[in-house]
Amino acid sequence: MIAIDIQQPLAHFTLEVSCSLKAPVTAVVGASGSGKTSLLEAIAGLREATRGRITIDDAVLLDSDRGFSLPPEKRRVGYVPQEIALFPHLRARDNILFARRDHDRLMSLAQMLELVPLLDRYPSSLSGGERQRVALARALMAQPRVLLLDEPLAAIDQPLRERILVHLRRIRDQERLPMIYVTHQPFEALALATYCIVLREGRVIGQGRPDDVLRDPQIGATTDVDNVFEVSDPHHDRENGITRVKTSDGGTLVLPFDLVADATFPLVVRISGEEIVVFGKRPESVSSRNVLEGVVSDVRVYEGRADVTITAPMPVRVRLTRSAVEELQIAPGRRVWLALRSRSFRLIG
């Protein structure tokens, strides 16, 4: 468990964060300048003026009341900053081996993060996503107690080929390492995190399950209803322009062939809940390539609109007007059919 209770004076406000993080991945969501990066730097020990207390399990990293602050090199905190900061004078291999010269571990990390062909390259010749993966491997080599990631998708130009989220999921599942993931994009939080903190001007304005926190209108972190799926096992049908894929929840989706033809699977796709059509009866002759049958599991009604979760069998979130909810008698337990246009899917990495 990571327990944080700190105050950090910043230029325009004081960062004040108090939280206990037990989840495998915690997302820290907030607009630019809300103090997200400062929070990560305080945990990593890169901010001298931090007051308060930080502990990871039994290890005390900071206890300013007792005048104790562990230096960054003793904190065992893996930090991948937004600018990535690979050492430009070292090849990818030596960047990764910086913390420890363990060649067996190097090879296992390189395989997990698909870095084997890149090991002898210098950072200047790597793409944004490749650098990000090298930086992840470099941080993991140091055997950290926690991995701090600052906007890992920000430096990525071509999400199609980079699949950073897929790699981060691998790290989460294979390394069993707690992660704190800073982002200003709520859908990234949904794709990876099981716990979420929302920061505004240095203060925590909400924390809890990402689904609940991010959609809470009081917190106002996002008004989007994004659906994020990790998909694999593609079956391409070039002639008809479609590719069938499996979701990690056991569902099937149809994506446009040209969107994913060059992609390496698994990858993460997103569709907005505003672009999904709900039918009260099984529709016939629809142009949407994805018609899913499901059962309404949750309905949240806000002013004039409702956000509905449907199990189909993966959870799909849809935004409807209240008028539509009433006409279709949408309520938990109601059987419905969903139409998802394959062209409405976006790749996010």
Partner 1 sequence: MSEVGLLLVSLKIAAGSTVLIVLPALALAAWSWRRSGWWRAIVDSIAMLPLILPPTAVGFVLLVLLGRRSVIGGMLERIGATILFTQTAAVIAAAVMSFPLMFVMFRAAIDSTDPRYFQIARTLGASPLRAFMRVTLPLAWRGIVAGVILAYCRAIGEFGATAMIAGNIPGRTQTLALAIYQRVEAGREDDARILVVYVVLLALTSLIASEVLIGRHRKKTA
Q: Which of 10, 46, 112, 286 binds partner 1 (CB under 8 A)?
A: 46
Distance CA 76, CA 72 (A): 8
Q: How many residues bind partner 1 (CB under 8 A)?
A: 25
**53 is a contact residue toward partner 1 (CB under 8 A):** no
Q: Which stretch binds partner 1 (CB under 8 A): 95-103, 222-230, 243-251, 272-280?
A: 95-103
- Identity of the residue, 78 or 266, whose beta carbon is nearer to partner 1 in the bound complex: 78
- Residues 38-56 as b or e (16 or more Cβ within 10 Å = b): bbbbbbbbbbeebbbbbbb
Q: Which of 2, 39, 42, 44 binds partner 1 (CB under 8 A)?
A: 44
**161 is a contact residue toward partner 1 (CB under 8 A):** no
Q: Which stretch binds partner 1 (CB under 8 A): 137-145, 155-163, 192-200, 273-281?
A: 137-145
Distance CA 61, CA 43 (A): 8
**171 is a contact residue toward partner 1 (CB under 8 A):** no
In the complex, least distance from residue 263 CB atom to partner 1, rounded to whole angstroms: 31
**81 is a contact residue toward partner 1 (CB under 8 A):** yes
Tokens of 49: 């003026």
**76 is a contact residue toward partner 1 (CB under 8 A):** yes
Helix/strand/coil (H, E, C) string of 198-247?
EEECCEEEEEECHHHHHHCCCCCCCCCCEEEEEEEEEEEECCCCEEEEEE
**125 is a contact residue toward partner 1 (CB under 8 A):** no
In the complex, least distance from residue 115 CB atom to partner 1, rounded to whole angstroms: 17
In the complex, least distance from residue 154 CB atom to partner 1, rounded to whole angstroms: 15
**294 is a contact residue toward partner 1 (CB under 8 A):** no
- Identity of the residue, 73 or 303, whose beta carbon is nearer to partner 1 in the bound complex: 73
**Strand ranges of the sheet holding 77-80, from the earlier edge strand across to the other edge:** 68-69, 59-63, 51-56, 2-9, 14-21, 203-208, 195-200, 25-29, 179-183, 146-150, 77-80
Q: Which stretch binds partner 1 (CB under 8 A): 103-111, 135-143, 156-164, 338-346?
A: 135-143
Residue type, 150: D
Give the ranges where the chain is alpha helix by DSSP (H).
36-44, 72-75, 92-96, 103-112, 128-141, 159-162, 164-170, 186-192, 210-215, 257-260, 322-328
Residue 160 Ramachandran class (φ > 0 left, ψ -120 to 50 alpha, else beta): alpha
- 54: nearest Cα among 36, 77, 35, 34: 77
**112 is a contact residue toward partner 1 (CB under 8 A):** no
**88 is a contact residue toward partner 1 (CB under 8 A):** yes
Distance CA 131, CA 112 (A): 15
**79 is a contact residue toward partner 1 (CB under 8 A):** yes
**123 is a contact residue toward partner 1 (CB under 8 A):** no
In the complex, least distance from residue 80 CB atom to partner 1, rounded to whole angstroms: 9
- Identity of the residue, 88 or 304, whose beta carbon is nearer to partner 1 in the bound complex: 88
In the complex, least distance from residue 273 CB atom to partner 1, rounded to whole angstroms: 38
**210 is a contact residue toward partner 1 (CB under 8 A):** no
Q: Can you name the residues that pair with 46 across neighbouring β-strands?
A: none
Distance CA 226, CA 275 (A): 10
Q: Can you name the residues that pair with 198 across neighbouring β-strands?
A: 29, 206
Provide the binding-site residues for partner 1, judged by CB under 8 A. 44-46, 71-79, 81, 83, 85, 87-89, 98-100, 138-139, 141-142
